Amino acid sequence: MEAIITKEGTQVTVQITGRLDTVTSEELKRRLADADIAGCDLEMDFTGVEYISSAGLRLLVALQKQAVSTGNKLVVKNINRVVQEIFKVAGFNKAITVI
């Protein structure tokens, strides 16, 4: 997994490539903590994400909770059919804003 994190004021964009699984979601969690995203709107660009596991979904839930608690937004965009189906089965298509 590769992640490019860009922070401009209170807007953070995370461009992810590869798999978001047990190992890589922990790495992404650490990198986001280092980027100090608290109080920021978060846009996750999944253009290059080929798969997301339950660990990746848990990370999104944690990020959603953090965003809501500070009055911010989490948006996931550009998901492929495989990830879209995983979101649908897990009920994430209703809990997280997907564009």
Tell me the whole-structure pTM to 2 decimals. 0.92
pLDDT band at 95 (very low <50, low <70, confident <90, very high): confident
β-pair type (2-8, 41-52): unpaired
Q: Among all chains, which residue has been given the structure tokens 């995203």? A: 37
Amino acid at site 5: I
Residue 78: its pLDDT value, please?
97
What is the residue extent of each domain of the chain?
2-98
Buried b (16+ CB within 10 A) or exposed e, 48-69: ebeebbeebbebbeebbebbee
Residue 92: its pLDDT value, please?
87
Residue 34: its pLDDT value, please?
94
Domain 2-98 top-level CATH class: alpha beta
User: pLDDT digits over 2-60, tens only?
Assistant: 999 999 999 999 999 999 999 999 999 999 999 999 999 999 999 999 999 999 999 99
Number of H-type helices and E-type strands within the chain = 4, 5
